[in-house]
Amino acid sequence: MMSEDNPQNQGLTPGFNQTPETLNAMLRRATRNSLVLGLAGALAVGLSAGWHNGAMMGIGTVISAASIYEWRKLIEIVNAKLDKKKTPSKAGLVFVFFVLKLTVFAGLIYGSLKSLQGSVLALLAGLALAAATILWEAIKMLRD
């Protein structure tokens, strides 16, 4: 039986007592790691399999890192709303730009596939970096 007095049960989920600041820091690290790993991978792919494939991975990497950044901004607004803090005045703009950037990302993916004639796998590898780095950072955070 869980006791309400137990300090381990003070968070939203037992055993998961992370603050919004630690989650924000985790997403910043994931953004940085995505960029570093992706651009290094794009350079390696570009040198070994041609610049078209390296460019495809680079585009996927940039979209991946930008997506993490956008999600971080949305999470800040949702956390402010949940904590009953004053919602930032530009919250509506963040949501509008989020949707616009998704449209731009879709256009970049379509344009790169049509014009660069590179490997779809290279593009997917760059895009998958967001999930991989967030998963890695989440595992590290849960272990600590």
- Mean pLDDT for the stretch of residues 68-85: 82
Reported pTM = 0.78
pLDDT tens digits, residue range 120-142? 999 999 999 999 999 999 899 88
* Residue 10, pLDDT score: 47
Residue ranges in 83-119 assigned as alpha helix (H): 91-115
Name 13's bridge partners: 16
Q: 13 by DSSP, 3-state: which?
A: strand
Q: CA 100, 101, 102, 104 torsion: positive or negative?
A: positive
The DSSP secondary-structure symbol of 86 reads: P
Of 57, 64, 66, nearest to 125 by C-alpha is 57
Q: What's the CA gap between 97 and 90, in Å, rounded?
A: 11
pLDDT tens digits, residue range 4-61? 444 444 445 555 667 888 888 999 999 999 999 999 999 999 999 999 999 999 999 9
Q: CA 52, 57, 61, 67 torsion: positive or negative?
A: positive
Those residues with Cβ within 8 angstroms of residue 3's Cβ, 6 or more apart along the chain or in another chain: 9
* Residue 88, pLDDT score: 64
Of the ranges 20-24, 60-64, 78-82, the best mean pLDDT one? 60-64
* Residue 27, pLDDT score: 92
The separation between the first and the last C-alpha atoms of the chain, rounded to the nearest angstrom, is 25
